[in-house]
A and B are shown apart, each in its own frame.
Chain A
Amino acid sequence: MSYLDNILFAILLILGGGYFAQNVKKLIRNIKLGHDVDRSDNPSERWKNMAMIALGQSKMVRRPVAGILHIFVYIGFVIINIEVLEIVIDGLFGTHRAFSFMGGFYDFLIGSFEILALLVLVAVITFWTRRNIIKLKRFIHNDLTGWPKSDANYILYFEVVLMSLFLLMNAADLHLQTIGAPGYESAGAFPVSQFIAPIFNGTSESLVHLIEKSAWWVHICGILVFLNYLYYSKHLHILLAFPNTYFANLKPQGQFDNLESVTNEVKLMMDPNADPFAAPAPDADATPAKFGASDVQDLNWVQLLNAYTCTECGRCTSSCPANQTGKKLSPRKIMMDTRDRLEEVGKNIDANKGVFVPDNKSLLNDYITPEELWACTSCNACVEECPVNISPLSIIMDMRRYLVMEQSAAPTELNNMMTNIENNGAPWQYNQMDRLNWKDEA
Chain B
Amino acid sequence: MSANLIVPTMAEMMAQGKQPDVLFWVGCSGSFDDRAKKITKAFVKLLNHANVSFAVLGTEESCTGDPAKRAGNEFLFQMQAMTNIEVMNAYEIKKIVTACPHCFNTIKNEYPELGGKYEVVHHTEFLKSLLDEGKLTIEGGQYKGKKITFHDPCYLGRANNVYEAPRDLITKLDAELVEMKRSKKNGLCCGAGGAQMFKEPEKGNKDINVERTEDALETQPDIIAAGCPFCNTMLTDGIKFKEKEGSVKVMDVAELIANAQDL
Residues on A lying within 8 angstroms of B by beta carbon are 251-256, 258-259, 262-263, 265-267, 269-270, 291-292, 319, 321-322, 324-329, 371, 374-381, 383-384, 397, 400-405, 410-411, 413-414, 416-418, 421-422, 425-428, 430, 432-439, 441
- A327 with B203: CB separation less than 8 A: yes
B109:A321 contact, CB within 8 angstroms: no
Whose C-beta in chain A lies nearest to the C-beta of B9?
A436
Contact B56 A436 (CB under 8 A): yes
Contact between chains at A322 and B208 (CB < 8 Å): yes
CB–CB B195/A401 < 8 A: no
Residue pair A375, B71 in contact (C-beta under 8 Å):
no
B110 contacts the other chain (CB 8 A) = yes
Q: Do the beta carbons of B110 and A411 come within 8 Å of each other?
A: no
- Whole-angstrom distance between the alpha carbons of A267 and B79 in the complex? 9
Q: Which of A379, A383, A403 has the most CB of B within 10 A?
A: A379
Q: List 17 A-B contacts (CB under 8 A).
A: A251-B109, A254-B109, A262-B78, A375-B201, A375-B204, A380-B159, A383-B158, A384-B185, A405-B72, A414-B195, A414-B199, A418-B71, A418-B73, A426-B62, A427-B198, A428-B28, A438-B30
**Cβ contact within 8 Å between A327 and B202:** yes
B191: CB under 8 A from chain A? yes
A267 nearest in chain B by CB position: B82
With the chains together, A418 CA to B73 CA distance in Å? 8
With a CB–CB cut-off of 8 A, which chain A residues contact B206?
324-326
Chain B residues contacting A426 (CB-CB under 8 Å) are: 28, 31-32, 62-63
A430 surroundings in chain B (CB, below 8 A): 28, 31-32
Cβ–Cβ < 8 Å partners of B204 in chain A: 322, 325-327, 375
List which B190-215 residues lie within 8 A (CB) of chain A: 191-208, 211-212
Interchain nearest-CB distance for B227 vs A (Å): 14
Contact status A439-B71, CB under 8 Å: no
B69 contacts the other chain (CB 8 A): yes
Note all chain A residues with C-beta closer than 8 A to B205: 325-326
Q: Known interface pairs A436-B9, A438-B41, A439-B7. Does A397 touch B72 (Cβ–Cβ under 8 Å)?
A: yes
Q: In this assembly, does B238 line the interface, its C-beta being within 8 Å of a C-beta of chain A? A: no
Q: Which of A263, A416, A436 contacts B58 (CB 8 A)?
A: A436
Query: Which residues of chain A come closer than 8 Å to B146, judged between CB atoms?
Result: none
Report if B155 contacts A (CB, 8 A): yes
Q: Is the CB of B28 within 8 A of A380?
A: no
Is there an interface contact between A327 and B201, defined as CB atoms closer than 8 Å? yes
Residue of B31, B68, B110 touching A435 (CB-CB under 8 A): B31
Report the Cα distance A324→B83, complex, angstroms: 39
A434 contact set on B, CB distance < 8 A: 31-32, 59
Given the complex, which residues of A lie within 8 Å of B158, measured CB to CB?
253-254, 379-381, 383-384
Q: Judge whether B130 is part of the interface by a CB distance below 8 angstroms.
A: no
B61 nearest CB neighbor, chain A only: A435
Contacts A377-B189, A379-B154, A405-B73 given; indicate if A321 touches B211 (C-beta within 8 A): yes
* Given A258-B113, A262-B75, A379-B189, residue A425 in contact with residue B211 (CB < 8 A): no
Inter-chain CA distance A376–B28, complex, in Å, is 22
Knowing A263-B78, A267-B82 are in contact, say whether A374-B28 is a contact too (CB < 8 A): no
Q: How far is the CA of A402 from the CA of B79 in the complex (A)?
A: 18
Q: In B46-76, which residues have CB < 8 Å from any A CB? A: 56, 58-59, 61-63, 65, 67-76
CA distance in complex: A266, B205 (Å) = 41
Contact of B159 among A252, A269, A375, A405 (CB under 8 A): A252
Minimal beta-carbon separation of B137 from chain A (angstroms): 26
Nearest A residue to B27, CB-CB = A426
Closest 3 A/B residue pairs (Cβ): A254-B159, A378-B194, A400-B72
Asked if B9 and A413 sit within 8 Å, CB to CB, the answer is no
B3 within 8 A of A: no
Taking a contact as CB atoms closer than 8 A, the residue among A252, A326, A421, A435 that contacts B109 in the complex is A252
Query: Given A327-B202, A379-B154, A432-B59, are A258 and B114 neighbors across the interface (CB < 8 Å)?
Result: yes
- Cβ–Cβ < 8 Å partners of B114 in chain A: 258, 263
Contact of A324 among B37, B160, B211 (CB under 8 A): B211
Whether B200 contacts A413 by the Cβ 8 Å rule is: yes
CB of B124 within 8 Å of the partner chain: no
Closest chain A residue to B67 by CB distance?
A: A427
Instruction: Specify the chain B residue showing the minimal Cβ separation from A371.
Output: B202
Q: Are A381 and B189 neighbours in the complex by a CB distance under 8 Å?
A: yes
